Chains A and B, each alone.
Chain A
Amino acid sequence: SDTKVSRAPVSQSSPLGVRNHLAIQEASGPSHVAINAISANMDSFARGRTAILKKQPSHMEAAHFGDLGTETEVILHVVTRVFELFIHLRTLDVINAFHRNCTIRCEVEEPVLQPGQQSLTKNVLSHLNSSSVRPLISRHFSEFLRSHHFCKYQIEVLTSGSVFLADILFSESALFYFSEYMEKEEAMNILQFWLAADNFQNQLASKRGQYDGQEAQNDAMILYDKYFSLQATNPLGFGDSVRMMIESNICREGGPLPDCFTTPLRQAWTTMEKGSKKAVIKILKNFDEAITVDVASLDPESLYQRPYAGRMTFGKVNELGQFIREAEPEPDVKKSKGSMFSQAMKKWVQGNSDEAQEEMAWQIAKMIVNDVINQSNHDSPGKSTKV
């Protein structure tokens, strides 16, 4: 959970104002944060799931996917496995990845499937890369994303104990339930503060060239008066040290910076994260209720059996396993490339920027995946299971 905290929307403060500006801009975009948090959650989930797969007797898994028969279903099933493999690739450091791939590939082939299905799967695997099957796979992959397998997967993630705070806070339909939950828990102030301070930060960070110190200070003072001052109307209960730090941030010569409320934002996040586990269960309950037509004849399995549950998904995973949110399309915000200065700045810090690193990681992941596919194409079956 350490990774999650450090990936929270509030970026580490840095002594350099401009760098800070960029960092916050990059880190605070809903999609960015959500993707990080979700992948962190999916990672830990996938790890846990693989461990379970290893322990579970093969017949149980086979029973789980007991309807495997036609080639289509096997492809779908394999895609599920490949999807899990991609999730692994997302986090593993590059050196270990090669070793792991083979193991995972063995899992795909061996413990999961019954003998008769194994050869079929191998067959499918060996055809994965052939040009005739490629369109088929890509079609099935998107089908998979809309299938009840994936829907179930998402619900499993939500119920697996991994907390999905970012996804709640950046998905309005979930936020609708979450704020109701927070209100019942009498924790509304924390959520309100988080939303307002996040808005303050985003708004300020998006100003770039047109920063108005006086205006920023006025805005910050409103939040200060409401949540932090000794006469706060909605006190959050932070100690003197936090209050004094905010005071000095607000009174900074030239006006407060976007990261003015970083510390309390982070604490609010942590607090909400603790509460959100319970909330997720409640939200899920509400989702169940929202999507069930006849509650009286509720069959839990039927929740997943909806062929095109597209609108129920939080997002999709592209062919590399990269999570693309679709829960909250940005209402056509024009993405400016920033001033010449900030572009130049980006170039300088590129080596350190998360974005660049992530892009690099994706490229490497792609290479690895291609490599695995090639191996499965050329290696003899005996060889591939040894490593």
Chain B
Amino acid sequence: MSETYDFLFKFLVIGSAGTGKSCLLHQFIENKFKQDSNHTIGVEFGSRVVNVGGKTVKLQIWDTAGQERFRSVTRSYYRGAAGALLVYDITSRETYNALTNWLTDARTLASPNIVIILCGNKKDLDADREVTFLEASRFAQENELMFLETSALTGENVEEGFLKCARTILNKIDSGELDPERMGSGIQYGDASLRQLRQPRSTTTQTKQQCNC
């Protein structure tokens, strides 16, 4: 049952209530739309193994409750997340306006190096749109976020969102910007990469001999 993978990443899905966080997760994992979705009590999670840039990466995804009354509870799960999907609903300006708060929470409570992708969900409801693509992409740019418009209903861009985030994290690992060995990085080596690690390491790792803890 245990699949081999090179890395395990901890992901968060955050954003206001009713933006479709659980549906995005469900679509990503089950490849179908969750018709009768309830609000999330605190936290749920799911996982999926994906292939990114020749590496197998398992995403452990924590889907948090959007409702304000669960905020203090869900915040405690932010710690040690490597990536996050920050979700708003393109048909609800209110959920868009709340983004700054969610972003502050994520940056302060999770790792400061957390890689965040902004997802404007419910792309299929274009007729009811209250937030333009341009406006949101400016916001993303200003806050150094990646950005996609998604639809949990049709599945459009859902996988892309998760993959994009995972790819960025991998790139940061390769460039040395992220250190998977640091506690709370939200990254774990899988069995596959551990086998490689057990062998004498290449020169690239020699540079980080010093453990700065």
Q: Please give the residue numbers on chain A whose beta carbons come within 8 Å of chain B beta carbons, in ascending order.
A: 30, 172-173, 176-177, 179-180, 183-184, 186, 188, 192, 195-200, 202-203, 206-207, 219, 222-223, 225, 286, 289-296, 306, 308-312, 328, 330-331, 333
A289 to B182, CA, bound (A): 10
A286 to B2, CA, bound (A): 16
Interface of B is mostly: loop
* Cross-chain contact A223 with B41 (CB below 8 angstroms): yes
Q: What B residues does A200 contact at CB under 8 A?
A: 41-42
Question: What are 30 sample pairs from A and B whose C-beta atoms fall under 8 A apart?
Answer: A30-B76, A172-B77, A172-B78, A172-B80, A173-B80, A173-B184, A176-B80, A180-B188, A183-B60, A184-B2, A196-B43, A199-B43, A200-B41, A203-B42, A203-B70, A222-B41, A223-B41, A289-B194, A290-B182, A291-B183, A293-B205, A293-B210, A294-B209, A295-B197, A295-B198, A296-B200, A306-B213, A311-B213, A312-B183, A331-B76
Instruction: Known contacts A203-B69, A291-B213; decide if A172 and B43 are in contact (CB<8 Å).
Output: no
* Cross-chain contact B211 with A290 (CB below 8 angstroms): no
Q: What B residues does A188 contact at CB under 8 A?
A: 45
Q: What A residues does B77 contact at CB under 8 A?
A: 172
Q: What B residues does A222 contact at CB under 8 A?
A: 38-39, 41
A198 to B65, CA, bound (A): 14
- Give the top 4 A-B pairs by smallest Cβ distance, nearest first: A199-B42, A172-B79, A222-B38, A196-B41
A180 to B10, CA, bound (A): 10
- Count how many chain B residues have C-beta atoms less than 8 Å from C-beta atoms of the other chain: 46
- Select which of B39, B188, B211 is within 8 A of A176 by beta carbon: B188
The smallest beta-carbon distance between B40 and chain A, in angstroms, is 8
**Does chain A have a CB within 8 A of B1?**
yes
Q: Quick one: CB contact mask for B47-62 with A, threshold 8 Å, 1 for yes?
A: 1000000000010100
Q: What A residues does B75 contact at CB under 8 A?
A: 331
* Cross-chain contact A176 with B213 (CB below 8 angstroms): no
* Cross-chain contact B76 with A328 (CB below 8 angstroms): yes
Q: Please give the residue numbers on chain B whose beta carbons come within 8 Å of chain A beta carbons, in ascending order.
A: 1-2, 8, 10, 38-39, 41-45, 47, 58, 60, 65, 69-70, 72-80, 109, 181-184, 186, 188-189, 194, 197-201, 205, 208-211, 213
Instruction: Known contacts A296-B198, A296-B200, A311-B213; decide if A196 and B183 are in contact (CB<8 Å).
Output: no
- Select which of A30, A293, A295 is within 8 A of B211 by beta carbon: A293
The smallest beta-carbon distance between A338 and chain B, in angstroms, is 16
- Select which of A223, A290, A331 is within 8 A of B183 by beta carbon: A290
Interface of A is mostly: helix
Q: What A residues does B43 contact at CB under 8 A?
A: 195-196, 199
A326 to B205, CA, bound (A): 31
Looking across the interface, which residue of chain A has its beta carbon closest to that of B74? Answer: A199
* Cross-chain contact B41 with A294 (CB below 8 angstroms): no
* Cross-chain contact A306 with B211 (CB below 8 angstroms): yes
Q: What B residues does A311 contact at CB under 8 A?
A: 183, 213
Q: What B residues does A179 contact at CB under 8 A?
A: 45, 60
Q: What B residues does A293 contact at CB under 8 A?
A: 181, 205, 208-211
The smallest beta-carbon distance between A133 and chain B, in angstroms, is 31
Q: What A residues does B199 contact at CB under 8 A?
A: 296
The smallest beta-carbon distance between A174 and chain B, in angstroms, is 10
A309 to B183, CA, bound (A): 12
Q: What A residues does B79 contact at CB under 8 A?
A: 172-173, 328
- Select which of B47, B78, B194, B209 is within 8 A of A183 by beta carbon: B47
* Cross-chain contact A202 with B109 (CB below 8 angstroms): no
* Cross-chain contact B194 with A312 (CB below 8 angstroms): no
Q: What A residues does B70 contact at CB under 8 A?
A: 199, 203
Q: What B residues does A199 contact at CB under 8 A?
A: 41-43, 65, 70, 73-74
Looking across the interface, which residue of chain B has its beta carbon closest to that of A197? Answer: B41
- For the A-B complex with A180-B188, A222-B38, A294-B209 known, give 8 more contacts whose Cβ atoms are closer than 8 Å: A176-B80, A176-B186, A179-B45, A180-B8, A290-B181, A293-B208, A293-B210, A331-B76
